[in-house]
A and B are shown apart, each in its own frame.
Chain A
Amino acid sequence: MKRTMLFALACAIGLAQAQAADTAAGKSLYASNCAQCHGPTAKGMASFPALAGKDADYLQSRLETYRAGEKVGANSSLMIPNARNLSDDDIANLSAFLSNNAQ
């Protein structure tokens, strides 16, 4: 019982953290690190895909995959070094900003 309550508390804290993702920080990070390839409104350019409006879980998963150095798609060699130094908060903030249409 005690263990269940602790687990529920941990989940609640995790949820609160996710909800508290700082979209302003994500916007700032996007502008400085991502916009030159994915475009100022994240609608994609050239061979770089659109990100605006994508599901936050999907974006977070992809960034974590790149951060781990795993290849996904033809532009992995550009994404892996870009994601390497992102913190968990950075990824959460970026994902939240982009999933909110990046406006």
Chain B
Amino acid sequence: MSHKSSLRSLSVAAASAVLVSLPLALQAKAPEVSQDVYLDGLESPWDLAFMPDGTMFFTEKCKGLSVQLPDGTVNNLLGMSGSEGYAMTTDDLFCSGQAGMNGVTLDPDFADNHTIYVYSAYRVGDNPASNRVLRLKVGGDLATVSDRTDIVKDIPYKQAPTDHPFGDSGAHNGGRIRFSPDDGFLYVTTGDNHNSSLPQFGDNLGAKVLRIDGNGDAAPGNADATPEGFDPRIFTYGHRNVQGIAFHPESHQPIVTEHGPWHSDEVNALVPGGNSGWDPRPNMAGRGDCPDDYCGYQPNQNEGMDPEERSAYMPMTDLETYPDAMKPLWNNNGYSQGISSAAFLDGEQWGDWNGRLVVSFMGIGFGGTPVGQRINVIDLGADGPTVQDITEMPVPAGSARFRGLVMGPDGALYVTVDEGQVHRFTVE
């Protein structure tokens, strides 16, 4: 843990302590939250996208893209290899481990152009696999998709197992896609594939956040901010595995969540050309050789040890090697618990929580770390931004592997969970 982030953690702890001792009337008023299972019987649902009338598109990691209409009817639109019961099935989309059909989002002009985007693993025959961003047109009857165009074809995918925790193929696959309400560009989050030659190098799209237009072309300005020779689609680099992105409601700054390596899940505020400071290469920064040339879980990848000791050896944000790296807003008090997605609560019904960042955790119990399945509610001041307060979303119906967070048009928070459901959080 860096000195600065230690101080920040202490500050958060101190602020929480003060908060506890304040009279109730002076504390931020938490809303009365209800939680219900909105949709059940799914298989690893990953992400959601809503139309204003409540029509809900959803992805299932190994099945494909579907949509639930406001009357409850579900239409299966685009099936992956091996799927049945879809209007269209394509054998070049597949799943393995963490990879499969991941993020989904609607075009900002969806009402006019009926265009939707998905992020999926792709392979033809025995060729190496990749991740792609697909653009599709949704039929007027919401029963079919057509006009597929793969607008990004070269996001790295982990081809083969390695000697690491979670070391199967398809690991560290990123996969969230969201349009910025400010600049209108599509942001695509990717992962490092347990490959140390990806994060700090701009000749590939792994361990990055991309900023592109609806045709997959680089947003003008990306290349002005990144190091010489970087792929112009790269907005930020040096990430580990980014599965969440949302835009601050006031500043519109992109805020991401990054999985930590047995320590330090991070919330980061992105700046153009920013380096997130992850560099798991062997034989540098005081490290020697590492299993399969990836030091990401060192110095001891299979046994528990003090997260602070881990962080000193293999920092999530290496500010010694990269002093200009983006400093995390929050590091989950030094724990890695499977941070997944991010969204901002929106609407007066949320009371004092209106505009707050929510981040989800799937939970990982390793080496004495509490499993930590939960949703945190973070007051993120636009200035900086800085963490003002952190609390937990009540889960009256129970916790789960919370995978994806999306605000619905009705002002409720919808959450995909690996247990095969979509949960809905509403307030009185």
Q: Which residues of A pack against B, CB within 8 Å? A: 36-37, 39-40, 45-47, 71, 74-78, 80-82
8 A–B contact pairs at CB < 8 A?
A39-B419, A45-B44, A45-B419, A74-B97, A74-B166, A74-B168, A77-B303, A82-B365
Contact A81 B418 (CB under 8 A): no
Contact B165 A74 (CB under 8 A): yes
> With A45-B401, A81-B304 in contact, is A36–B373 under 8 Å at CB?
yes
Contacts of B171 in A (CB 8 A): 47, 74
Contacts of A40 in B (CB 8 A): 419
> Shortest CB–CB separation between residue B288 and chain A, in angstroms?
20
Contact B165 A78 (CB under 8 A): yes
Indicate which residue in A36, A39, A47, A82 contacts B98 across the interface (CB closer than 8 Å): A47
Contact B401 A46 (CB under 8 A): yes
Q: Which residues of B pack against A, CB within 8 Å? A: 44, 97-98, 161, 164-168, 171, 297, 301-304, 362-367, 371, 373, 401, 418-420
Contact A78 B366 (CB under 8 A): yes
Indicate which residue in B44, B164, B297, B303 contacts A46 across the interface (CB closer than 8 Å): B44
> Shortest CB–CB separation between residue A8 and chain B, in angstroms?
42
Contacts of A36 in B (CB 8 A): 363, 365, 371, 373, 401
Contacts of A47 in B (CB 8 A): 97-98, 166, 168, 171
Contact A77 B418 (CB under 8 A): no
Contact B371 A76 (CB under 8 A): no
> With A36-B373, A36-B401 in contact, is A77–B366 under 8 Å at CB?
yes
Contacts of B166 in A (CB 8 A): 47, 74-75
> With A36-B371, A74-B167, A74-B168 in contact, is A46–B302 under 8 Å at CB?
no
Contacts of A81 in B (CB 8 A): 303-304, 366-367
Contact B362 A46 (CB under 8 A): yes
> Shortest CB–CB separation between residue B313 and chain A, in angstroms?
17
- Could you say which of B98, B304, B420 has the most chain A C-beta atoms within 10 Å of its C-beta? B420
Contacts of A46 in B (CB 8 A): 44, 98, 362, 401, 418
How far does the alpha carbon of A59 sit from the alpha carbon of B297 in the complex, in Å?
Answer: 28
How far does the alpha carbon of A74 sit from the alpha carbon of B172 in the complex, in Å?
Answer: 13
> With A46-B401, A46-B418, A47-B168 in contact, is A78–B44 under 8 Å at CB?
no
> Shortest CB–CB separation between residue B9 and chain A, in angstroms?
25
Contacts of A82 in B (CB 8 A): 365
Contact B364 A78 (CB under 8 A): yes
Contact A71 B418 (CB under 8 A): no
Contact A77 B401 (CB under 8 A): no
Contacts of A37 in B (CB 8 A): 363, 401
> Shortest CB–CB separation between residue A51 and chain B, in angstroms?
14
Indicate which residue in A45, A75, A76, A80 contacts B418 across the interface (CB closer than 8 Å): A45
Of all chain A residues, the one with the shortest Cβ separation from B418 is: A45
Contacts of B418 in A (CB 8 A): 39, 45-46
Contacts of A77 in B (CB 8 A): 165, 297, 301-303, 366
Contact B98 A71 (CB under 8 A): no
Contact A71 B302 (CB under 8 A): yes
> With A36-B371, A45-B401, A47-B97 in contact, is A74–B364 under 8 Å at CB?
no
How far does the alpha carbon of A82 sit from the alpha carbon of B368 in the complex, in Å?
Answer: 11
Contacts of B363 in A (CB 8 A): 36-37
How far does the alpha carbon of A39 sit from the alpha carbon of B304 in the complex, in Å?
Answer: 24
4 nearest A-B residue pairs (beta carbon)? A45-B418, A77-B302, A74-B167, A77-B165
How far does the alpha carbon of A74 sit from the alpha carbon of B164 in the complex, in Å?
Answer: 7
How far does the alpha carbon of A76 sit from the alpha carbon of B97 in the complex, in Å?
Answer: 15
> Shortest CB–CB separation between residue B100 and chain A, in angstroms?
10
Contacts of B98 in A (CB 8 A): 46-47
> With A46-B401, A47-B98 in contact, is A74–B366 under 8 Å at CB?
no
Of all chain B residues, the one with the shortest Cβ separation from A47 is: B97
> Shortest CB–CB separation between residue A47 and chain B, in angstroms?
5
How far does the alpha carbon of A78 sit from the alpha carbon of B365 in the complex, in Å?
Answer: 8
Of all chain A residues, the one with the shortest Cβ separation from B297 is: A77
Contacts of A45 in B (CB 8 A): 44, 401, 418-420
> With A36-B371, A45-B418, A47-B168 in contact, is A80–B302 under 8 Å at CB?
yes
> Shortest CB–CB separation between residue A67 and chain B, in angstroms?
15
Contacts of A74 in B (CB 8 A): 97, 161, 164-168, 171
Contacts of B364 in A (CB 8 A): 78
Indicate which residue in B44, B165, B301, B362 contacts A75 across the interface (CB closer than 8 Å): B165
How far does the alpha carbon of A75 sit from the alpha carbon of B366 in the complex, in Å?
Answer: 11
How far does the alpha carbon of A81 sit from the alpha carbon of B365 in the complex, in Å?
Answer: 10
> Shortest CB–CB separation between residue A78 and chain B, in angstroms?
6
How far does the alpha carbon of A77 sit from the alpha carbon of B304 in the complex, in Å?
Answer: 9
How far does the alpha carbon of A72 sit from the alpha carbon of B52 in the complex, in Å?
Answer: 48
Of all chain B residues, the one with the shortest Cβ separation from A78 is: B366
Contacts of A75 in B (CB 8 A): 165-166
Contacts of B167 in A (CB 8 A): 74
